[in-house]
Amino acid sequence: MKNKSKNINGISDILFISIFIVLFITIGFVVTTKSAGEKNMGYNKLTEEEENVIINKGTESPFSGEFNKFYETGTYLCKRCETPLYKSDSKFNSQCGWPSFDDEIPGAVKRIPDKDGSRTEIVCNNCSAHLGHVFLGEQFTEKNTRHCVNSISLKFVSDEETAMKKENPKIETAYFAGGCFWGVEYFLQQEAGVLSTSVGYMGGHKDNPTYAEVCDGPTGHAEVAKVEFDPSIIDYEKLAKLFVEIHDPTQINGQGPDLGRQYRSEIFYSNEKQKKSIEQLIKILKSKGTKIATRSTKADSFWPAENYHQDYYQNNGHQPYCHSRREISWD
């Protein structure tokens, strides 16, 4: 009997271990599959601050958000997945410190009662990004509803931008860095076929850097002008040639009196066609004996600069101090 019991116990131990291994592998597979699935969802990359609100259900400080006192006409999208959530005509000033809407785009927002039963959370119905909370019965508007939303959970697209993209479905984007981005934007935005411009930071290793951080140097970013253009009016090669002509492509880590890696000459290409175009232009310049400092790099995350940097010369009535155009013979 002792031997039989020992055998049974041995078999039981083996069976238990086998079941444990199968469960371990299965759980690991499920977790891995889920993780891979989340990575392939195509969601936007979030900063630590954005994750705190959108993923971890935090709350931004009142009166601090970008869209608290913002009333342009357009559509508010989910910051994480860019699903349209609210139209601007549903936004109103509740003076609560956060953007307020009295209605959502049908089917875009999901309501989830908080565990304590005192409030109702609202999330993006597509990706479950935390938006804020909804309140009823406050009599702010005829709809008697207030979606209290964190600005950081939203992205805004103006009606003008939406119309422009509908009219020009083949809009392309280019990124140029060559000294202070004020001057680069100034010259590029004057070209026919350029639909919009903005300035920001690219090529570094920190998410959502500030101007002060970029100027101090440790983030590795360059000051960049982003250009959206209609290729049926102006092609990428012409834009790239203009960029070369408005700055000194031979100066390393600077332009004129502006010195530092953030002022380096660099073109960030969006596709292989742009890359080949840049390489050809650099080859032409080198054949003329020009020692080119300009680098060609694949574009990565573009982080918009602070509002006061946008359209700087247009808004301030000044002229670029370290950029001027000199035509080059490209033959």
- CB atoms inside a 10 Å sphere around CB 170: 8
* Gap between the Cα atoms of 315 and 232, Å rounded: 29
Task: Tell me the C-alpha to C-alpha distance, in Å, between residue 116 and each of 111, 125, 143, 149, 267.
Answer: 15, 22, 26, 20, 53
Q: What is the pLDDT of residues 144-157, one digit of tens each?
A: 999 999 999 999 99
**Confidence grade of residue 229 (pLDDT, cut at 50, 70, 90):** very high
Residue 40 pLDDT greater than 90, yes or no = no
**Confidence grade of residue 12 (pLDDT, cut at 50, 70, 90):** low
Which is higher by pLDDT, 200 or 28?
Answer: 200
Task: Look at 35-39, 43-47, 72-76, 257-261 and tell me which has the smallest mean pLDDT.
Answer: 35-39
Q: What is the pLDDT of residues 290-308, one digit of tens each?
A: 899 999 999 999 999 998 8
Which is higher by pLDDT, 161 or 221?
Answer: 221
The question of whether 148 is a catalytic residue gets the answer: yes
**Confidence grade of residue 22 (pLDDT, cut at 50, 70, 90):** very low
Domain positions in the chain: 50-157, 168-316
* Gap between the Cα atoms of 145 and 151, Å rounded: 18
The question of whether 124 is a catalytic residue gets the answer: no
Which distant-in-sequence residues (6+ apart) come within 8 Å of 139 by Cβ? Answer: none
Catalytic residue among 81, 124, 148, 322: 148
- 50-157 adopts what CATH topology? 2.170.150
145-149: strand order across its sheet: 91-92, 100-101, 145-149, 130-136, 120-124, 109-113
Q: What is the pLDDT of residues 63-79, one digit of tens each?
A: 999 999 999 999 999 99
Task: Tell me the C-alpha to C-alpha distance, in Å, between residue 33 and each of 55, 56, 70, 126, 205.
Answer: 20, 22, 41, 19, 28
Token pair 């390393």: residue? 252
Structure tokens of 68?
A: 């608290």
Token pair 């006409």: residue? 73
Fold match between 50-157 and 168-316? no
Counting residues of the chain whose pLDDT is more than 70, the rounded percentage is: 86
Average pLDDT, the chain: 85
Residue 27: alpha-carbon gap to chain centroid: 34
168-316 placed in CATH 3.20.10.10: no
Catalytic residue among 78, 180, 215, 322: 180
